[in-house]
Amino acid sequence: AQSVAQPEDQVNVAEGNPLTVKCTYSVSGNPYLFWYVQYPNRGLQFLLKYITGDNLVKGSYGFEAEFNKSQTSFHLKKPSALVSDSALYFCAVRSYGNNRLAFGKGNQVVVIP
């Protein structure tokens, strides 16, 4: 079985401050990890993924995430948040050879001007 936990419902951050959205996962075997962002009434936009290699992954719009195998985490970070980063963020995981993604519940990020 594969699952994702996003422990916080909402993350509030002031514009210009660092943004962190937490994600922990559970999967058999090596994980493939993803972050997506969703704006109201829109589909999911891909931000970044970890498959193998460097634990620090850089993605779109200045976002990055760090894969930590010992803590089974894949937290999303951005050094300086923008108001336009306010959206719903989803972490997802799948194992090698499994084409089905398991999504977390999502985190609403609110960036305060």
Does 52 bind another protein (CB under 8 A)? Our answer is no
Residue 46 binds to another protein (criterion: CB under 8 A): yes
Provide the β-strand partners of residue 6. Answer: none
Q: Does residue 61 belong to the site contacting another protein (CB under 8 A)?
A: no
Binding-site size, another protein (CB under 8 A): 20
Burial 49-81 (b: 16+ CB within 10 A, else e): ebeeeeeebebeeebbbebeeeebbbbbbbeeb
**Which of 31, 85, 87, 106 is in the footprint of another protein by CB under 8 A?**
106
Site for another protein, rule CB under 8 A: 36, 41-46, 49, 88, 90, 94, 98-101, 103-106, 108
